[in-house]
Structure 1
């Protein structure tokens, strides 16, 4: 490399990030003309600009400047300059891409991507195989232009609701107000999901020193000694107090009713010493389901034992999230033990017992 080429290369290195392509082209043309014969070749070697680009710059200098539409201030290329867009060079590109994305609705159910992940890489490969050589980055741009974006599944299809669903909600509301007005207990019951006991990952995050997270097992096989626990909750709607029975066996109807029995003895009876009725609201599934005969049988035994009338109002199918205990009690328990491994049953019980809210929710574990 000659000394002249080296000097031009140094100057180009300083200028290239500060000049747009129009000014850079004109500068290269000036440098080439100042060198005389062989200048174009030397400038081209130093800057890696093509000889054609430098010739264009020289032509623009001689004609008084590039042919740019004066009505568009700031424009550095003449109208129509630059490479043609792929969709202009290949009119069927967008149509074929659309078919790959929605094969069933676009009349092409046999597309190779019908049953695979539609990543941009795979889309680019399939388009290339169909005669449209494109890169993964280009596919991203085309998808955006077509109005596509990454979307997660959305739970919106509930199916047809029961014709009497609203009537059941109104019945529950009226019944709750009726018993509350005469000082009778109203509770919401349900079983929380089973929790594995041991050094297992628990969802959420907890404040720890940087780089010192709580270490847990890689695999989540149930510990044969510690097993699982099933928290069965009883939430007093009137007093905003909760009671949780932490079971170590199956979530049966006997366990559910025994939890209610213990709640009454330890918490309910002192709060409602003159009660002769009890209203229970529950969802329609699980151990306290509306079709479980054992649940009804055990409740009758409890009613006979306590000498009181027990009414049960089940929520309509698919509406368990409206059960008060779900968002008034269980959600706060999950928040309180987020990111903490339930290493022992005692830890689980203590975390439940220390759950508090601004509205003075109090939980009593058993």
Structure 2
């Protein structure tokens, strides 16, 4: 499962919630934009079976390329060793945003991701207005919010360390890493992809606009 969390602004800004500290934490009394030092774009990948997660903290923008890079990073850095004989990965997404179900730019990046991982990707989008029922929301990000509660996010490293402290009694673990790649907005789908997309993407017969298979390693 892969889904974004709301963007976090970095800087000495007040954040709601309790936070235990040995010293007084000084913050600005106004959240003016010029007082910020950066932005974090979290992207979570949650393994339902192992109750484990990997969160990529981007410092640029949320684009389809960033989504695919975050999935590849989670797979190579954490999940691949747990599934050595995998031939297909199931990915669930919201229907909008950088991973929109109707986005050809996202589908083209998924084809590149399939080729990069050497795996078949089965993709399922939650229909519009149903993302709140996505398990990653209440199993992972609700716990991540607790870990970030009251923490002054003065740097990306502080955010990463706070997220990695996420633990639950049911065994949830969270890993996090920073991704400093700068992503370009406004990228368009290539003209070539319009002509060849059917060779790599097969839509299901039921609700095909939200469910499809991507395989760049052989023609479908």
> TM over 0.5: same fold?
yes
Distance in 2, matches of 1:291 and 1:204, equals 38
Question: 2:133 is matched with which residue: 308, 315, 322?
Answer: 322
Change (3 A) 1:213 1:227: same
* Aligned pairs (5 A) from 1:18-29: none
State the match for 1:257 in structure 2. Answer: 68
Native 8 Å contact 1:189 1:281 kept in 2: yes
* Aligned pairs (5 A) from 1:93-242: 188-207=1-20, 214-223=25-34, 226-242=37-53
Question: Considering only aligned residues, what root-mean-square deviation do their CA atoms show, in Å?
Answer: 1.7
Deviations along 1:95-139, one digit per CA (max 9) or x if unpaired, are xxxxxxxxxxxxxxxxxxxxxxxxxxxxxxxxxxxxxxxxxxxxx
Change (3 A) 1:225 1:321: closer
Native 8 Å contact 1:196 1:222 kept in 2: no
Distance in 2, matches of 1:199 and 1:285, equals 32
Question: 2:85 is matched with which residue: 274, 293, 317?
Answer: 274
Identify, as 1 or 2, the structure richer in strand: 2
Deviations along 1:137-191, one digit per CA (max 9) or x if unpaired, are xxxxxxxxxxxxxxxxxxxxxxxxxxxxxxxxxxxxxxxxxxxxxxxxxxx1111
TM-score for both structures, normalised by structure 1: 0.46
State the match for 2:112 in structure 1. Answer: 301
Change (3 A) 1:340 1:325: same
Native 8 Å contact 1:278 1:309 kept in 2: yes
Distance in 2, matches of 1:342 and 1:276, equals 39
Structure 1 unmatched ranges of 5 or more: 1-187
Identify, as 1 or 2, the structure richer in helix: 1
Between Structure 1 and Structure 2, how many residues are aligned? 177
Residue 224 of structure 1 deviates from its aligned partner by 7.0
TM-score for both structures, normalised by structure 2: 0.76
Deviations along 1:190-236, one digit per CA (max 9) or x if unpaired, are 11111111111112223468xx8633112213357721101110000
Query: Secondary structure at the residue paired with 1:359?
Result: coil
Moved more, 251-260 or 332-341: 332-341
Distance in 2, matches of 1:302 and 1:207, equals 41
Tell me if 1:244 matches 2:55.
yes
Query: Secondary structure at the residue paired with 2:70?
Result: helix
Structure 2 unmatched ranges of 5 or more: 178-220
Question: 1:338 is matched with which residue: 149, 174, 177?
Answer: 149
Distance in 2, matches of 1:263 and 1:192, equals 16
Change (3 A) 1:206 1:233: same
Native 8 Å contact 1:222 1:228 kept in 2: no
Distance in 1, matches of 2:132 and 2:21, equals 33
Instruction: State the structure with bigger RCO (CA 8 A, min sep 6), 1 or 2.
Output: 2
After TM superposition, the runs of 4+ consecutive aligned structure 1 residues lying more than 4 A away are none
